[in-house]
Amino acid sequence: MSPRFTPGLVPPDPRPERALWFVFRGRELLVHDEHGMPPMDGPESLGLTPVRWQYLGAYDEQHCFACELAAGHEPPKDMAFKDLRALFGQLDEPIHALAGRAVQIVDWDRSHQFCGACATPTEPSLTERSRRCPKCGLTCFPKLAPAVIVAVERGNEILLARSPHFPPGFYSTPAGFVEPGESLEECVAREIREETGIEVGEITYFASQPWPFPNSLMVGFTAKYAGGAIRVDRTELEDAKFFPADAMPSYFKGRISISGWLIEAFETRHGLR
């Protein structure tokens, strides 16, 4: 049976000597030079003094913690701080996913030490992942920004778009954030219309993926082309076009992004995988 992560709020007492520690400097994770993440005796055993730390839960039988270091902290010998994007494919997938959970909790905890309404120091809850103001009662939970990502199909073609920050020649399925008061399906139709000028229908849920860059949940959909000509929103995209299944551009493959899952599923339906 594969290891399973069980979220938790209250750490064991006393704190276990050996645990899986996700140590961050800003949003960079401390890893060994070979990108390993072995359990350790705690950051103090490496001469590190956390600003604050949080208990995450247990990965199988291994307790998990997250902590942050002060800005500018140098890594211990034979270790380095790495951005989580650079660690795709370097860390085991479940560990990378846990690191994504950890960095979001660290960021949220850091930015909610004081009440946003009255500036009183907040206190952590022992029953849920939140911080509460003891003076005015304002309770803050970790923030999450849902976003949709969509594979629009037109026969044997798929709509792909290129953002200015992509590597040369790479394309992806269009995506965008959900607005207040908007359903996921309404967001799909609006984002495709705003970014490419076309209309879509037959919107169907595909899958979802946590995306900690910085605090997103990517919700994937498929949709069918329903009309209109492509008019690229140049404030968002460099290019957008329909690609035939047998003439795909470069894209982000594998488990890195749900965009790759959507495109690979499209290729499979057309007998190309």
pLDDT tens, position by position, 77-112: 999 999 998 898 888 889 999 999 999 999 999 999
- What percent of the chain is modeled with pLDDT above 70? 99
Domain at 215, CATH number: 3.90.79.10
pLDDT tens, position by position, 103-151: 999 999 999 999 999 999 999 998 999 999 999 999 999 999 999 999 9
**Do 98 and 13 fall within a single domain?**
yes
Q: Rounded to 5 degrees, what are φ and ψ at 137?
A: 85, 0
pLDDT over threshold 80, residue 3 = no
* Helix/strand/coil percentages in the chain, nearest 5: 20, 35, 45
Number of independent structural domains in the chain: 2
- Report residue 2's pLDDT band, with 50, 70 and 90 as the boundaries: low
For 156, how many CA atoms within 13 A lie in the half-sphere containing its CB? 9
**Do 173 and 96 fall within a single domain?**
no
Q: Is residue 82 part of a domain?
A: yes
Residue 271, pLDDT score: 85
Q: Is residue 121 part of a domain?
A: no
Range(s) of the domain holding residue 155:
145-269
Task: Work out whether strand 139-140 and strand 131-132 pair parallel, antiparallel, or are unpaired.
Answer: antiparallel
For 175, how many CA atoms within 13 A lie in the half-sphere containing its CB? 23
Distance from C-alpha of 41 to C-alpha of 245, rounded to nearest angstrom: 51
Q: Which two tokens stand for residue 182?
A: 């908007």
DSSP 19: B
pLDDT over threshold 70, residue 62 = yes
């905890």: which residue's tokens? 109
